[in-house]
Structure 1
Amino acid sequence: MSSASAIALTAFIAWTLLLLSLMEVIRAQLVLRGKVPANGFTPDNANLSPFMQRLARAHANCLENLPIFAGLLLIAIATDHIAITDPLAYLFIGARVFQSLVHLASVSSTAVTIRFTAYSVQIAIGLYWTFKLLAVA
């Protein structure tokens, strides 16, 4: 049976891949419909719709944070300290997905505040995991 830590790690990777896949499906449709040439995309989708720009940023944010949180989860798994990460693993991945969904929905002041709150939950969990893992190292 998989641990909550392993499931959260896999879910984080899957979520990042899902955002990338969504972006690429939409880009492919734009190319096939002749709206954008195949070489007409920028990494941040600056020349596309506001949704596509938010999608690129939500995906980039996952990529920026994946090494940190994957590292912590992998350390816990590899050192048999999942008792540290398992209790908050589902809250962590829930906050990550929620943050991305809010990012996709809006960049209003309220949405940014909600998104920041979800991100703060992840940071707090990451700090907690870090200190606990260091304490048993």
Structure 2
Amino acid sequence: MNASIIVLLGYISWTLVLLLALAVYRTYLTQSGKFKGLKFQADGSDVPEFGNRLTRAQANCVECFSFIGGVLLLAIATDSTAITNGLAYILLAARLGQSIVHLVSTTNMAIQARFVFFLIQFGIVIYWILTLFATFL
């Protein structure tokens, strides 16, 4: 497998890990009696702070998949992974970093670090898009 395929699988796997953690967390809240009922707010606003951060970290992975996963899928489908392979692992590391920082802290420094991790991902995807445009136009 090439780096783009591994990173796409890693990104999807990380999103699933966060989703499973969220399901386990919500089950724990319900079973322990710390949360009444089985209906949770989609934004995580009705659970303790860690639950809110976990909800947002998972949702953020899903939100960013459209441009990160989309470009990786395009590169794979068009046999253009030579464009994405070089920075693919950096992008995944930035994605993991953003999520982990989101889970552990909401300090101003942590928010800035998350933004830096997001900018790394965004910049890489913009570079890939421009390169793909140049290749196919």
Q: Same fold (TM over 0.5)?
A: yes
Identity of aligned residues (%): 42
Question: Counterparts of 1:1-137 in structure 2 under 5 Å?
Answer: 2-137=1-136
What's the offset of the Cα at 1:39?
Answer: 2.5
Structure 2 residues not aligned, in runs of 5+:
none
Counterparts of 1:71 and 1:39 in 2: how far apart (Å)? 33
What is the CA–CA distance in structure 2 between the aligned matches of 1:45 and 1:3, rounded to whole Å?
A: 36
Residue 49 of structure 1, CA deviation: 1.0
Distance in 2 (CA, whole Å) between partners of 1:109 and 1:82 is 37
* C-alpha distance after superposition, 1:76-101 (max 9, x if no partner): 11111111000000000000000000
Aligned-pair CA distance for 1:41: 1.3
Q: Scaled by the length of structure 1, what TM-score is found? A: 0.95
TM-score relative to the length of structure 2: 0.95
Amino acid at match of 2:49: P
Question: 5+ unaligned residues in a row in structure 1: which ranges?
Answer: none
CA distance in 2, matches of 1:33, 1:50: 17
Q: Tell me the matched-pair count.
A: 136
Structure 1 position 16, deviation (Å): 0.6
Show CA shifts across 1:49-72 (max 9, x none): 111101111111111000111110
Counterpart Cα distance in 2 of 1:39 and 1:28: 9
Q: Distance in 2 between matches of 1:130 and 1:11?
A: 21
Q: Partners in 2 of 1:76 and 1:40 — Cα distance?
A: 39
